[in-house]
A and B are shown apart, each in its own frame.
Chain A
Amino acid sequence: MSGLLLFLVGVVTLAGIYAILAMILNLEAGWAGMWDLGIAGLLAVGGYVFIITTQQTHDDVILTPHWPMWAGVLAGSVAGGLAALIIGIPSLRVRGEYFLITTLAFAEVIRQLSINLGSLTRGTVGFNQFTRPFESWTSPSGYRWVLLGLVWLVVAVVYFVIRRLGRSPYGRLLRGFRDNDPVARSLGKQTNRHRIQTFVLAGLMYGAVAPLYVWFIRTVTPSLFTSEATFVTWTALVIGGIASLRGPVIGAIILLIVTEAASLVQGSGDMAVVLASVRFIVLGLVLILVMRVRPQGLANERDAFAGASERVAG
């Protein structure tokens, strides 16, 4: 297989993972108006719970239940939801940028805990030997195709679930109290309860998809869950168009292709550091340019729900 093809498969798989994350973020931030900067923390909870409950090879951690794969995914999801509940109850008492900063702080606390609770998480060494689903079906080199298919299958499922949610009365309610909380409350909607529900729902979903990220990267270390994961997801969403339907997927594909293109160039030693840095420069430039030229993103909310309001009116 040629190098370019291998590279493309990797980029498209990663783009799919970020498309999933951006769609979930769109639910809580785009529609419900909760600008969450704690995505990396919830991913870390999901990823670590999954790997601790399912891994078979590392015996030096205090908890090795050896659960089957599906139970680990379920446990990661539940843990993500629980973490979101614990983070959400206090954080949702503050609004706007204070909410941003509280969630960012929680994510950093989670990451620091994952470094420091070495007997559970193996500290900065992390987990690097574990089996992945369907791995026995194919050769190691063919597995990347399996993962590509799996990721994009999840993209499709999440897309239809989120679209259903977005067009449902529940989605309208979210956008309603995002734009005007007092009016929604005057209509008898318990907006704070819906906020917590949506935040926990997003947490469940982040926790559930975290294993995909883990299978793609093939290690679980604290450095996977820095705020970079959060900011890349946000950038994908903002480029694609916040609060639109297809935006998160479009944004993730464009962003990942543009930023990963730098790693196509082979280099060694000092050159490798420069190339790795170019990725950040490109990420920054793309974000600055999109904000200047098209701050509403490529797709927009009006088009995504053009038919919906007419159906309600009719």
Chain B
Amino acid sequence: MQNVIFGLITGSILAIASVGLSMIRQTEGFINIAHGQMLTLGAFLGYFCVATLELNIFLAGLISMLLVGILGVVLSVLVFNPVAASGPLAQLFTSIGLAYLLFGVMRVVFGANVTFFPTSFGTRFDLGSVNVTVGEILIVVTAAIVVGALALFLNQTRLGTWIRATASNPELARLRGIPVQRVSHAVWFVASALAGLAGVMVGLIGNVHSELGWTLTLIILAAAVLGGLGSIYGVLASGLLLGLAMDLSALVIPTSYRSVVAFGVLILGLLLRPQGLFVTAGRREA
């Protein structure tokens, strides 16, 4: 049971992180390898707010979310828009370049050491055979609230409808007069802000270090692809599933094989259902 709790925590963080990746993939048309670095940046900013500025952890999370979100929009305008006409190969490699750039800059600014959030997880209490801390429950609850808010935003607001329209058919959306530029900014902000929040959570349950982005990029990609990239709920579900699979596998095989399990699940998933686990309609050929 303990592993189910861990799996839920890992899964909800993964879900938040991979939703952003799949939103960018759908509206902008390429896989943003730098997404994992945005996560790391969120973790570092959160750590900086808590450890150096001595802010409350919730305030720190909010600040990193906003800052990473704004950075996402700025980078999309400065870095990605100019190569949009050159096609997905150019965009993909621009994002790899950006990932290295961010990685290098973060190592210069924050150093290469491993640090821990100086935040306590609150009281630990036992529920039968399981024991959880207040902090861990808060992470899962926050993730649930964020996912709920995202669903409301996408379904109930005009901007959200535009985003879904652009995601399902960019050309048609443009023809119908949807302001593509505003949609693009909104997507980059939301996706990056979610990455920033996920980064703070990753830092909280583990540690903060500069290699975080590279390790996570692969697992986030796995979750996003497994969910079928296009479907936001599919990606959420597969993020949760992957988190559970990784932590439950610890019961039968050594924990050092944790990420092997994640990629094993991804490879199996792609082979058995190449269109994504939770997608019913056909997947467009890339």
Q: Which residues of A contact B (CB under 8 A)?
A: 90, 93-98, 100-102, 104-106, 108-109, 112-113, 115-116, 226-227, 231, 234-235, 238, 242, 270, 273-274, 276-288, 291-292, 295
Contacts and interface: CB of A to CB of B under 8 A. Distances in A.
Contacts of A278: 104, 108
A58 B111 CA distance: 35
Given A93-B271, A284-B98, 17 more contacts: A90-B267, A90-B270, A105-B221, A106-B263, A109-B260, A116-B254, A227-B214, A234-B93, A273-B107, A277-B107, A278-B104, A280-B100, A281-B101, A281-B105, A281-B108, A284-B99, A285-B101
B274 A285 contact: no
A81 B214 CA distance: 27
A102 B286 contact: no
Given A112-B260, A280-B100, A284-B104, A105 B93 contact: no
Listed residue (A96, A97, A226) with the most chain B CB atoms within 10 angstroms of its CB? A97
Contact of B90 (A95, A273, A295): A295
Listed residue (B92, B97, B99, B225) with the most chain A CB atoms within 10 angstroms of its CB? B97
B218 interface: yes
A284 B111 contact: no
A226 B107 contact: no
B19 to A, nearest CB: 17
Contacts of A96: 285-286
Given A95-B286, A101-B266, A292-B83, A280 B104 contact: yes
A112 B262 CA distance: 11
B142 interface: no
A287 B107 contact: no
A284 B260 contact: no
A280 B103 contact: yes
Contacts of A108: 218, 259, 263
B223 to A, nearest CB: 11
A92 to B, nearest CB: 11
Give 8 nearest A-B pairs by CB, closest first.
A96-B286, A287-B97, A284-B101, A284-B100, A280-B104, A281-B104, A277-B107, A105-B263
B286 A231 contact: no
B134 interface: no
B101 A105 contact: no
A contact face: mostly helix, strand, loop, or mixed = helix
B108 A116 contact: no
A98 B103 CA distance: 25
B222 interface: yes
B contact face: mostly helix, strand, loop, or mixed = helix
Interface string B196-228: 000000000000000000100010011001000
A116 B98 contact: no
Interface string B80-114: 00110011111011101111111111011001100
A115 B31 CA distance: 28
Nearest to A115: B256
B222 A101 contact: yes
Contacts of A273: 107, 111-112
Contacts of B112: 273, 276-277
18 contacts: A90-B270, A96-B286, A98-B225, A101-B221, A101-B225, A101-B266, A105-B266, A112-B256, A116-B254, A234-B93, A270-B111, A276-B107, A280-B104, A281-B100, A284-B96, A284-B102, A285-B101, A291-B97
Contact of B100 (A115, A270, A283): A283
B98 to A, nearest CB: 6
Nearest to B271: A90
Contact of B270 (A94, A276, A287): A94
A234 B93 CA distance: 9
B100 A116 contact: no
B78 to A, nearest CB: 10
A284 B100 CA distance: 5
B181 to A, nearest CB: 19
Interface string B116-137: 0000000000000000000000
